């Protein structure tokens, strides 16, 4: 053991190795020393665990690999062939070309983010989307923050701190990453009062829970799960009637949020933002990067009196949206106003794609694999905390593989390509879904498949 420790080279010996000195002009000296020390410490721990000491050449090779990895961004573009349109782990909604172009233009230089061009004085960043949101939804006012959890937190902090908010126990849901809506709500300082049972909540449950400290009733969209069987829930219209009778607010957390009628595309109905505003919710909260199809954002629409309170609250500064995403969101909202969402916004292009087009593309992918695959019918999930259980018919390219070219091995090769292609494994079969891949990405998939089997 002692002999192995003595064989560990010093920092200088590695630093002045021929292969490292060649990099002197490419990397700062301090960075080289830091990486070398980190590698030597890793090697020291390995020796302490009873493993033989690596050679100097192996240590140098490890340092070079680490330096090369540092120069590569870890966040990169991938092709989503998983069969989940709003795949949270893959960044949710891809953006339209027009949104991307505007975001690039705004980011390349300065912008009029908070500047009035006509008068030359300071303005508000919210004007760039507020008018668009009011036109789309019929709301009096609107505010955009970092994400929907921040929107709900801001709303409850500004309106319900140290007061009671009543919510159905069946809607006290957990969202992605282990975050729970009740926990987010409690962070606002509001007292959460749960009523009803997991499967059944009635209007009388809300009415009986109202006290002198109650400031709001709240609906939380179930988003990523579905209760079936013996169930009962209170409609938004019923909540608003109770709210009017008792002079308290109704807040509506739609989660994903949606501007289009999903039933037109053969999906189950998803609560629409316009419906919430028309029904009379004081504030409606929803995401910008799910069914809206824009960049990450938390959107709040509703009565001007309450939106203004949120706008003036100190927390609004901490959760505000940046210029790049604001620009992308504005263009995304314009797609809806111009009635071109189904042809411009990638999420809706995927949802609206005819099954015949999917079948044709799947056949081209199958051909690229030279007999290693077959086309089978399947289902595409919308995902992203929306339309729980909702799916669309699709055609899947199924790759069974064998031996060294197993489905798992092929899937790994596709993930490690220049542009990673992400499928899913089901019962030792790799499945690739063209519906979640934009047609302009087909060439990437076909080339990756050909390279993989080569």
Task: Looking at the structure, tell me whether residues 54 and 121 fall in a common domain.
Answer: no
Which pLDDT belongs to residue 1? 44
Residue 238 is part of a domain; what is its CATH number?
3.40.640.10
CA 125 to chain centroid, in Å, comes to 23
Mean pLDDT for the stretch of residues 367-392: 84
Q: How far apart are CA 420 and CA 411, in angstroms?
A: 10
What would the two tokens of residue 348 be? 């809706």
Task: Looking at the structure, tell me whether residues 249 and 361 fall in a common domain.
Answer: no
Q: How far apart are CA 184 and CA 160, in angstroms?
A: 13
Is residue 331 a contact partner of residue 106, using CB atoms and an 8 Å limit? no
Short-list 75, 57, 66, CA closest to 31: 66
Task: Looking at the structure, tell me whether residues 319 and 340 fall in a common domain.
Answer: yes
Band of pLDDT at residue 71, cut at 50, 70 and 90: confident
Buried b (16+ CB within 10 A) or exposed e, 238-252: bbbbbbeeeebbbbb
Task: Looking at the structure, tell me whether residues 296 and 375 fall in a common domain.
Answer: no
Give the chain's mean pLDDT.
Answer: 90
Residue with more model confidence, 448 or 199: 448
Is residue 145 a contact partner of residue 316, using CB atoms and an 8 Å limit? yes
Task: Looking at the structure, tell me whether residues 175 and 273 fall in a common domain.
Answer: yes
Least confident of 70-84, 95-109, 344-358, 395-409: 395-409
Is the pLDDT at 379 greater than 50, yes or no?
Answer: yes
Task: Looking at the structure, tell me whether residues 8 and 105 fall in a common domain.
Answer: no
The CA distances from residue 138 to 175, 275, 367, in Å, are: 28, 10, 50
Residue with more model confidence, 203 or 325: 325
Q: How far apart are CA 405 and CA 453, in angstroms?
A: 8
Mean pLDDT for the stretch of residues 84-101: 95
| Domain extent at residue 204 | 95-344
Q: Which residue has the tokens 């400031």?
A: 215
Is residue 246 a contact partner of residue 362, using CB atoms and an 8 Å limit? no
In sequence order, the β-bridge partners of residue 392 are 380
Task: Looking at the structure, tell me whether residues 276 and 336 fall in a common domain.
Answer: yes
Is residue 234 a contact partner of residue 202, using CB atoms and an 8 Å limit? yes
Task: Looking at the structure, tell me whether residues 252 and 353 fall in a common domain.
Answer: no
Mean pLDDT for the stretch of residues 76-85: 95
Task: Looking at the structure, tell me whether residues 161 and 253 fall in a common domain.
Answer: yes
Task: Looking at the structure, tell me whether residues 335 and 396 fall in a common domain.
Answer: no
For 304-337, the pLDDT digits (tens) are 999 999 999 999 999 999 999 999 999 999 999 9
Is residue 287 a contact partner of residue 301, using CB atoms and an 8 Å limit? no
**Helix (H) or strand (E) segment spanning residue 181:** helix 181-187
Band of pLDDT at residue 177, cut at 50, 70 and 90: low
Is the pLDDT at 395 greater than 60, yes or no?
Answer: yes
* Residues 216, 219, 224, 229, Cα dihedral to 10°: 130
Residue 425 is part of a domain; what is its CATH number?
3.90.1150.180
Domain boundary among 344, 375, 398: 344
341: left (phi over 0), alpha (psi -120 to 50) or beta: alpha
Find the distance separating the first CA and the last CA of the chain, reported in whole Å.
Answer: 46
Task: Looking at the structure, tell me whether residues 340 and 368 fall in a common domain.
Answer: no
Domain boundary among 303, 329, 344: 344
For 254-302, the pLDDT digits (tens) are 988 999 999 999 998 899 999 999 999 999 999 999 999 999 999 999 9
Domain boundary among 298, 322, 344: 344
> Which of 214-223, 374-383, 397-406 holds the top average pLDDT?
374-383
Q: Which residue has the tokens 């501007």?
A: 259
Is residue 263 a contact partner of residue 392, using CB atoms and an 8 Å limit? no
**Total count of domains within the chain:** 3
Is the pLDDT at 171 greater than 80, yes or no?
Answer: no
Which pLDDT belongs to residue 77? 94
Task: Looking at the structure, tell me whether residues 298 and 409 fall in a common domain.
Answer: no
In sequence order, the β-bridge partners of residue 375 are 397
């Amino acid at each position: 053991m002692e002999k192995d420790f003595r064989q560990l080279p010093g920092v200088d010996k590695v630093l002045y190795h021929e292969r490292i000195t060649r990099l002197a002009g490419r990397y700062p000296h301090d960075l080289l020393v830091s990486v070398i020390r980190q590698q030597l410490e890793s090697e020291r721990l390995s020796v302490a665990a009873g493993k033989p000491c690596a050679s100097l050449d192996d240590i140098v090779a490890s340092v070079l690999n680490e330096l090369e990895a540092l120069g590569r961004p870890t966040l990169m573009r991938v092709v989503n062939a998983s069969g989940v349109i709003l795949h949270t782990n893959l960044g949710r909604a891809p953006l339209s070309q027009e949104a991307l172009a505007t975001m690039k233009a705004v980011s390349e230089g300065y912008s009029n983010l908070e500047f009035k061009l006509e008068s030359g004085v300071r303005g508000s960043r919210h004007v760039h989307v507020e008018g668009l949101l009011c036109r789309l939804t019929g709301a009096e006012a609107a505010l955009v923050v970092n994400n929907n959890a921040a929107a709900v937190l801001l709303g409850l902090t500004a309106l319900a701190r140290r007061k009671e908010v009543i919510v159905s126990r069946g809607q006290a849901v957990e969202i992605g990453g282990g975050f729970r809506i009740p926990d987010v709500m409690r962070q606002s300082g509001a007292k959460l009062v749960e009523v009803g049972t997991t499967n059944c909540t009635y209007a009388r449950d809300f009415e009986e829970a109202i006290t002198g400290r109650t400031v709001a009733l709240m609906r939380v969209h179930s988003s990523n799960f579905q209760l079936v069987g013996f169930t009962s829930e209170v409609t938004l219209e019923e909540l608003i009637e109770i709210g009017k009778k008792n002079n308290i607010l109704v807040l509506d957390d739609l989660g994903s949020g949606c501007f289009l009628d999903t039933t037109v595309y053969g999906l189950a109905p998803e609560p629409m933002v316009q419906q919430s505003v028309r029904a009379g919710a004081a504030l409606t909260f929803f995401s910008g990067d799910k069914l809206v199809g824009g960049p990450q954002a938390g959107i709040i629409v509703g009565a001007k009196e309450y939106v203004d309170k949120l706008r003036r609250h100190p927390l609004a500064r901490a959760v505000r949206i940046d210029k790049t995403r604001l620009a992308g969101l504005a263009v995304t909202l314009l797609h809806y106003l111009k009635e071109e969402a189904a042809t411009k916004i990638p999420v809706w292009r995927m949802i609206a794609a005819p099954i015949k087009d999917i079948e044709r593309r799947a056949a081209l992918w199958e051909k690229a694999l030279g007999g290693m695959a077959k086309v089978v019918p399947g289902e595409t999930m919308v995902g992203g905390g929306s339309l729980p259980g909702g799916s669309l018919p699709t055609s899947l390219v199924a790759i069974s593989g064998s031996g060294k070219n197993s489905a798992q091995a092929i899937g790994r090769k596709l993930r490690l390509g220049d542009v990673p292609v992400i499928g899913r494994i089901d019962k030792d079969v790799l499945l690739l879904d063209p519906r979640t891949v934009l047609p302009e990405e087909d060439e990437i998939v076909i080339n990756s498949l050909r390279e993989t089997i080569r």
